[in-house]
């Protein structure tokens, strides 16, 4: 894939930069400054990738495009040095930076550095720069004082995800059992999630029951809205007084089903969406296999294996 950049004339963009090395194993000052600039610029923007070992030229659009291959001798050593220098060339250090090598049969090759967007910045490039950079349409550029001041005031963001409990069950009248799966909303981010939103959709014999959402400080709750869809969708919507603090989980609903003792055990397929005032929309699907449900039924209610797995 790396070599195909040249064949296709790949253009640099907001999240892609090509670099050649002026000396082996990142020993030249210009190469080290390129690393520092890229770390600062991508982390202070939306993240990106630096590909080492690809030369560029101006394209018809005015942006640089991949034009030549410059394989790096002993690329494994380069990746080792990139890893060593990553925490030394910017301040504060950036979490989540990764380096990968793409080795040719000769031992030469290419390398790629992935720099994620950071909410712990802004990040200053060192090595004589002592400047903050950002990624633009035509490369990296130094930030002005007011840009840096704005970034220091940038709010950290929440990161919401859905978590399902293991199935539990109990008797539900004569000849049937009830399966319960609890749904929790978890904030893995560094900021509080304000006005959270959850949308759940289940299939087959399952249904959603809201449990309510209680903030210890505010006493507010998520409100249930049932959508007229097939299968039905359930939205749990909070107001600005509904808050999930960092590293906290709340049970917001349960998924239930009544299954006859000799009925085939179905899979539980949960489609979800979640967001908050400062958290982006996250969508996905979680599958709980019939075997997990059947094992829970056998363990808590029955003494013999069930059909369906």
Considering the domain boundaries, does residue 198 fall inside one? yes
Chain position carrying tokens 């890893």: 83
> Do 171 and 288 fall within a single domain?
yes
pLDDT more than 90, % of the chain: 40
Q: What is the CA radius of gyration of the chain?
A: 26
> Do 207 and 276 fall within a single domain?
yes
Domain at 112, CATH number = 3.30.950.30
Specify the pLDDT at position 273: 94
Q: Which of 135, 152, 169 is the last residue of a domain?
A: 152
- Indicate if the alpha-carbon torsion angle 72, 73, 75, 80 is positive or negative: negative
Considering the domain boundaries, does residue 309 fall inside one? no
Q: Which of 152, 182, 203 is the last residue of a domain?
A: 152
Considering the domain boundaries, does residue 148 fall inside one? yes
> Do 278 and 179 fall within a single domain?
yes
Residue with more model confidence, 146 or 96: 96
Domain count, the chain: 2
Encoded tokens for 223: 């409100």
> Do 141 and 192 fall within a single domain?
no
Q: Which of 108, 132, 152 is the last residue of a domain?
A: 152
Measure the CA angle with vertex 100, ends 95 and 106; round to 5°. Answer: 160
> Do 167 and 242 fall within a single domain?
yes
Beta carbons within 8 Å of 107's beta carbon, 6+ residues apart: 73, 74, 75
Considering the domain boundaries, does residue 79 fall inside one? yes
Specify the pLDDT at position 308: 42
The reported pTM is 0.53
- Residues 208-250 have pLDDT tens digits of 888 754 434 333 467 778 777 788 888 888 888 888 888 888 8
- Residues 161-213 have pLDDT tens digits of 999 999 998 877 778 889 999 999 999 887 888 889 899 999 878 988 887 54
Among 117, 127, 122, 135, which residue's Cα sits nearest to residue 38?
A: 135
> Do 125 and 180 fall within a single domain?
no
Helix (H) or strand (E) holding 180: strand 176-187
Name the residue range of residue 239's domain: 160-300
């Amino acid at each position: 894939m790396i070599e195909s950049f040249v064949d296709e004339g790949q253009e640099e963009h907001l999240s892609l930069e090509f670099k050649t090395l002026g000396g082996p194993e990142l020993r030249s000052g210009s190469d080290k400054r390129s690393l520092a600039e890229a770390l600062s610029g991508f982390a202070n923007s939306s993240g990106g990738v630096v590909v080492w070992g690809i030369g560029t030229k101006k394209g018809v659009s005015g942006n640089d495009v991949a034009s030549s291959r410059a394989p790096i001798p002993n690329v494994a050593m380069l990746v080792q040095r990139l890893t060593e220098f990553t925490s030394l060339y910017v301040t504060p250090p950036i979490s989540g930076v990764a380096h990968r090598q793409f080795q040719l049969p000769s031992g030469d090759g290419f390398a790629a550095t992935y720099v994620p967007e950071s909410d712990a910045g802004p990040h200053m490039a060192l090595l004589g720069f002592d400047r903050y950079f950002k990624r633009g349409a035509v490369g990296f550029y130094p930030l002005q004082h007011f840009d840096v001041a704005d970034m220091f005031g940038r709010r950290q963001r929440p990161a919401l995800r859905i978590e399902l409990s293991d199935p539990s069950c109990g008797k539900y009248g004569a000849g049937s059992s009830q399966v319960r799966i609890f749904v929790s909303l978890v904030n893995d981010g560094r900021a509080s999630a304000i006005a959270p939103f959850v949308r759940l959709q289940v299939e087959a014999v399952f249904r959603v029951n809201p449990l309510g959402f209680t903030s210890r400080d505010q006493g507010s709750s998520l409100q249930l809205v049932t959508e007229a869809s097939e299968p039905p969708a359930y939205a749990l919507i909070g107001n600005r007084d509904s808050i999930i603090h960092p590293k906290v989980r709340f049970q917001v609903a349960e998924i239930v089903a009544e299954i006859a003792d000799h009925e085939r055990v179905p899979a539980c397929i949960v489609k979800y969406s979640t967001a908050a005032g400062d958290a982006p929309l996250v969508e996905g699907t979680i599958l709980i296999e019939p075997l997990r449900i059947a094992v829970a039924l056998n363990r808590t209610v029955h003494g013999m294996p069930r059909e369906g797995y």
